[in-house]
Amino acid sequence: MHDWQAAREAFATGLIAYPTEAVFGLGCDPREDVFLQQLLDLKQRPQEKGFILLAADYSQLLPFVDDNAIPQDKRFSVFSHWPGPVTLLLPARQSVSPLLRGQFDTIACRVTAYEPARELCRQLNSAIVSTSANRHQQPSLTSFEAVKTEFNDELAWVMDDAVAGASSPSTIINPLTGQVVR
């Protein structure tokens, strides 16, 4: 159904788009500052906001999350949310680019339960950047066709699949403090 080889090649060379629980997402390799900057420019998004990481499982987040900084007594409150439409603010490794984490010492992470996005992460063998497919302060796009129309030649690959149909973006929680951010 999907050309995973094309997805892997695109991930290695630029920006991609894919369906999530509620909207289409734009993404890239979170280890590549040049792609992170391209994504910021494409969205016209302020760098200090940071991005969300989307993963198939927690192990894909370990290069970015300071796992040792998650207290043992908070681990259940972290892992009980996943997989699912909940983004957690977790301690970021010192090595995480400010282009990815923004002005924060945390990194926003989600282990998705939405199978098309989850399979994409599996096929790429990596967590991916996840931000809504739209320009800054414009409505989020919810279809393959709308993404192709809006971003056309600016993306290396677009996953031809539908969004899950959730009515709102993921909830964002800091599981170490209990604060609900969104």
Compute the distance between CA of residue 51 and CA of residue 26 in angstroms, rounded to an integer: 10
pLDDT in tens, 147-181: 999 998 999 999 999 999 888 888 999 999 999 99
What SS3 string covers the chain?
Answer: CCCHHHHHHHHHHCCEEEECCCCEEEECCCCCHHHHHHHHHHHCCCHHHCCEEEECCHHHHCCCECHHHCCHHHHHHHHCCCCCCEEEEEEECCCCCHHHHCCCCEEEEEECCCHHHHHHHHHHCCCEEEEECCCCCCCCCCCHHHHHHHHHHHCCEECCCCCCCCCCCCEEEECCCCEECC
The per-residue pLDDT for 166 is 86
Q: Is the pLDDT of residue 114 over 80?
A: yes
The per-residue pLDDT for 42 is 96
The per-residue pLDDT for 152 is 87
Mean pLDDT of 108-131: 97
Is 28 in contact with 40 (CB distance < 8 Å)? Answer: no
Q: Is the pLDDT of residue 138 over 80?
A: yes
- Which amino acid is located at 98 in the chain? P
Q: Is the pLDDT of residue 90 over 80?
A: yes
pLDDT in tens, 32-49: 999 999 999 999 999 999
A 10 A CB-CB count for 120 gives 27
Q: Given pLDDT bands bounded at 50, 70 and 90, which one contains residue 86?
A: very high
Structural domain boundaries enclosing 88: 4-180
Average pLDDT of every residue of the chain: 95
Mean pLDDT of 135-153: 94
User: Which CATH number goes with the domain that contains 61?
Assistant: 3.90.870.10
pTM metric for this prediction: 0.96
Number of domains in the chain: 1
Compute the distance between CA of residue 10 and CA of residue 157 in angstroms, rounded to an integer: 6
pLDDT in tens, 64-85: 999 999 999 999 989 999 999 9
